[in-house]
Amino acid sequence: MAHKKAGWSAENLRDSNPKYRGVKIFGWQSVAAWNIIIRQKWSKYECGKNTYAGKDFSIHASVDWTVSFSKKNFERFDWRRYLKTVVNVD
C-alpha cells in the first residue's frame, strides 16, 4: 500500500471562475451611460441605437435613458438569414 496520495489525483480538483454572463439590465429599466447592459460570449445580441460593444463583446450604454429590445433579421455572407435581438437605449 502506498503511504502517499498519488501526485496526479489533485488535477481534477481545480475549477474555473464563474463568468457571470447574461442580461444585467432588462427592458424599460433606466440605465446610466457606460453601464453594462449585457455580458455575452460572441454576438448573440447586437448593438443598436446609443449602445456599443466592448472588447469582450459586452454591450454598454452610451447615454442615460431606458433600455429596449427588438428583433431584426441579419443576413450572413452565405445569404442565410438569422433573427437576432437588438439592444437599444432610447
Query: Would residue 85 count as lying in a domain?
Result: yes
Q: Which of 10-14, 15-19, 59-63 has the lowest average pLDDT?
A: 10-14
Q: End-to-end CA distance of the chain: give it in Å, rounded.
A: 70
How many C-beta atoms surround the C-beta of residue 51 within 10 A? 21
Instruction: Give the pLDDT confidence of 28-59 residue by residue, as tens digits.
Output: 999 999 999 999 998 899 999 999 999 999 99
For residue 51, the domain's CATH number is 2.40.50.100
Beta strands in 1-90 (DSSP E): 22-23, 30-31, 36-39, 45-47, 51-53, 59-61, 65-75, 81-89
Query: Would residue 78 count as lying in a domain?
Result: yes
Domain of 39, in residue numbers: 15-89
Q: How many domains are contained in the chain?
A: 1
